[in-house]
Structures are given as C-alpha cells and as structure tokens.
Amino acid sequence: MEELGGIGKLDRERLSAVLRGAKGTISVPQAAQVLGISQTDAAKMLSRWSKKGWLSRVKRGLYVPVPLESRSADVALEDPWLIADKLYAPCYIGGWSAAEHWDLTEQIFRTVVVLTAQTPRERNPVVKGTQYLLCSVNEKKLFGLKSVWHGQVKVSVSDPTRTILDMLAEPRLGGGIRSVQDMLQNYLGSPEKKLDLLIEYADKLGNGAVFKRLGYLLERNAPDEKLIIEKCSQRLTKGLTKLDPKFKNDKLVTCWRLWVSESWLLEKV
C-alpha cells in the first residue's frame, strides 16, 4: 500500500491545474498540454506524483486522481467505464453491463463487459480491482451505440436493441442463455422494444446463430410475435448451432437447427 507523501507548492499548483483540466483520467499528452511542457517532462512529473501517492497509475502513461479523503494511492476505480474507454478504444460497454444500464436486468454483475476493436492478449484483465470481460468486434460493426455522460466524458454503450443482439450472438456476454432469455423478456415488455430494428441489426452483423436463438426464444416465450418469428425462420443458415455453448446440448430442435439441453426442453415456460 503506497502512502501519501508531501508535495511542494509548485507541484501542488501544477497538480491542481492538471486535475482541473482532467476528465476522469490523466494521460501524459493531456498533462503536457495543460502545463505547456514536453511529454517527457510530463511523464516524469506524473510518475513522481504517483510515487508520492497523489495519483494512481492505471497503466503506463495513464493515471487517475486519488480522492483527497484517501490515505493511500491504492484505490479502486471510481468509474470503470471511463477506464475502459481509455484502455480499449475504439470500444463500447455492452452485454450485461449495458443491460444493467438500460434496466433490462435486476442482477448485479461485478465484471464490466467491453466490446473492443482491439485484440487484447488478456481477455479478463483486472484493473485496480475491477474485472473486465473483453470481446473483440470488427470496427465496421461498431453500430447501434449511444453516448452517455460519465462525469465530463461521453462513453459509448450499446443501445437496448444492440445489447440484446450481442447477447444472442454470444450468450456468455449476458451471463448465459437463461439470463439472456430473462433480459429478452424484459426488453419485450419495455418501451425500448424494437424487433424490426433487432432484425435489421442482426442482418448487418451477419451472425446466423442470432436468428436461430431469437426465433426459438420468441416461439417459446412470445409466440404472438409471429411476424418476427417468421423473419427469423426465413434467415436460417444451414449449420447447426448450440443454444448455449456452455450447456450439454443433447437435443436437436430441427425447425431451428438448434441444439438445446433436454432439461431446457422440460422446463415450463
């Protein structure tokens, strides 16, 4: 645990200027611009402040302020979304994290889901006590996003429809197909319900598994959505898909070309 150290008058004035100009995070180029110094000098200055405990280092060249009331620089992230935006851009907050934001679930997830155009080596990094789940996405498929304010910074988050789409494409992003089913139900009962847009998004994404899972879940839970179910059926690809890759999928629902677990079929809707 790094204890807070003393800071001189000049450093205090410089640090105050940087904090005023910061928007949640502090980078070397940002500090250099605020102080009118070289990036090399700014990097040394930020490093010194970090060693004294006034800033907390997130990664090389990126810091967050340490709250005044803190007795140590060993602090948790106040806003993990801002850090994700800095570390993994171009990216957006998605999956269960977006579902929480749009009130599609009452579950509380500690891990932050980030879909990024990067191809990070570590898919489950822990940054200052916050765990992230990273999923790569082609930059051309960064659509269906909304900008939301986090402090003074706008962060991209998938809109409710894109959120459902991503979880249908990869059920793990929603905590598994059972949770995804519940979130889909909440989506269907919300003002954000836009099934035609969901089909449009799915066409744009080009993932055949989405239509199989969506069609099956709608037929199971919302059979009155006949038009959308038919649209899913018309878009079935030839291959077989698992309802949830983590399940023991031992029964084939032929009409949807979908492997499901026997226990799932036996459950009452």
Mean pLDDT of 30-36: 89
Phi, psi for 137 (deg, rounded to 5): -140, 140
pLDDT for 3 equals 47
Number of domains in the chain: 2
For 228-237, the pLDDT digits (tens) are 999 999 999 9
Q: 29: domain range? A: 9-65
Give the pLDDT band of residue 70 (cuts 50, 70, 90): very low
The overall average pLDDT reported for the chain is 89
In this prediction the pTM is: 0.83
Q: How many CA within 13 A on the CB side of residue 229?
A: 13
Asked whether residue 251 is domain-assigned, the answer is no
Q: Is residue 253 part of a domain?
A: no
pLDDT of 188 above 80: yes
5 pLDDT tier (thresholds 50, 70, 90): low
Distance between CA 217 and CA 37 in Å, rounded?
Answer: 58
Return the CATH number at 47.
1.10.10.10
* One-letter identity of residue 211: F
Q: Are residues 152 and 20 in the same domain?
A: no
Please indicate, yes or no, whether residues 85 and 60 belong to a single structural domain of this protein.
Answer: no
Per-residue confidence band for 27, with pLDDT thresholds at 50, 70 and 90: confident
- Does 217 lie in the same domain as 88? yes
Tally of CA atoms within 13 A in the half-sphere of 198 that contains its CB: 27
Mean pLDDT across 245-252 = 87
